Structure 1
């Protein structure tokens, strides 16, 4: 559950921001992300445990500046897609540097003796890849839907919800499946 709290700024942005008023969503996302990072760091969480929160702080800082500087930017209607592009970039980037973003979170729940085990790392590569694929697919789908129609609210909401629910459900299921199969201590 704690790992999912890192997605709070993204979820709140999705609820608060609308295609014509993304500024409030950006500012709200930024405030929540910064507060989460500060609380996490004060509680002793390592940077690798706060990848999503830290990424949110950077994204929402940039989006806040853009939305205040150019509130009628042509990017405005694509806010939901931009979120998924950024999250996909964060997930794929963490895989590219061989530090899957789920690894820091998983280490808080796993015994230290499995942290460097190749199967534990592989499990987190699979989890992070699942999130990366979900964000990528959602970014593409949202871009297509938003480009085709600015009034596709139900479709946009469904895509946004599925882009979090599907990988979250897989993240809840997969480690238990791997443990039952005896692949990771």
Structure 2
């Protein structure tokens, strides 16, 4: 569950950034991301253990600048979708370079002797793919919802919750399922 703490900046942004409050959401997301990165680096964590946190710091730095320079940007209503576009890019990009973002987190929870096994990589590639698909579905769904009905708050919240909860539950469940399946062979 420690790996989910990296999503805190994104969650705080989602809660705060409603309508005109996107500046404060961006600033809060940036502050939390920077604190997480600083605390983790001070604790000796490698960058591959902080992909989501580092990605959040970059995203929220950019979003903070945009929100301060152009507070009435046409991007404002699409903030929830932009978050998921960025997260999808982070997840798909980590898969493209064959370093699924979950690998660094998983290494903190698994014995070192399994880190270089094909099964360990495969489990993390599958988990990262589930997150990437969820972020992509969220980005597309939120863009559609916000374009058709910009005030459909309940639907926006439902999309955000479902597209976070489903991969989070899968992440908690899948490694033990994969171990059982491997042991049964």
TM-score (norm 1): 0.98
For the aligned residue pairs, the C-alpha RMSD in angstroms reads 1.0
Q: CA deviation at 1:19?
A: 2.1
In 2, Cα distance between the equivalents of 1:180 and 1:122? Answer: 15
What's the CA shift for 1:182?
2.4
* Residue 20 of structure 1, CA deviation: 2.1
Q: Which has the higher helix share?
A: 2
Q: Distance in 1 between matches of 2:150 and 2:30?
A: 25
Distance verdict in 2 for CA 1:162–1:69, change over 3 Å: same
Where does residue 134 of structure 1 map in the other structure? 134
Question: 1:28-39 maps to which residues of 2 (within 5 A)?
Answer: 28-39=28-39
Q: By how many angstroms is 1:183 displaced? A: 5.5
Q: What is the total number of aligned residue pairs between the two structures?
A: 184
In structure 2, the partner of 1:94 is 94
- Structure 1 residue ranges without an equivalent (≥5): none
Matched residues in 2 for 1:36 and 1:130: separation?
24
| Cross-structure match for 1:160 | 160
Cα 1:55–1:183, aligned 2, differ >3 Å: closer, same or farther?
Answer: farther
- 1:183–1:93 distance in 2 versus 1, CA, 3 Å: farther
In 1, the alpha carbon distance for the partners of 2:9 and 2:57 equals 9
Deviation >4 Å, runs of 4+: none
Kindly provide the CA deviation profile for residues 33-66 of structure 1, in whole angstroms up to 9, marking residues without a partner as x. 0000000000011100000000000000000000
Gapped regions of structure 2 (runs ≥ 5):
none
Residues 119 and 183, structure 1, Cα contact 8 Å, conserved in 2: no
- C-alpha distance in 1 between matches for 2:127 and 2:145: 27
Q: Aligned partners of 1:59, 1:103: CA distance in 2, in Å?
A: 21
Q: Deviations along 1:134-159, whole A, 9 cap, x unmatched? A: 00000000000000011100000000
Q: Over residues 105-151 of structure 1, what are the superposed CA-to-partner deviations in whole Å (9 max), with x where a residue is unaligned?
A: 00000010110100110000000000000000000000000000111
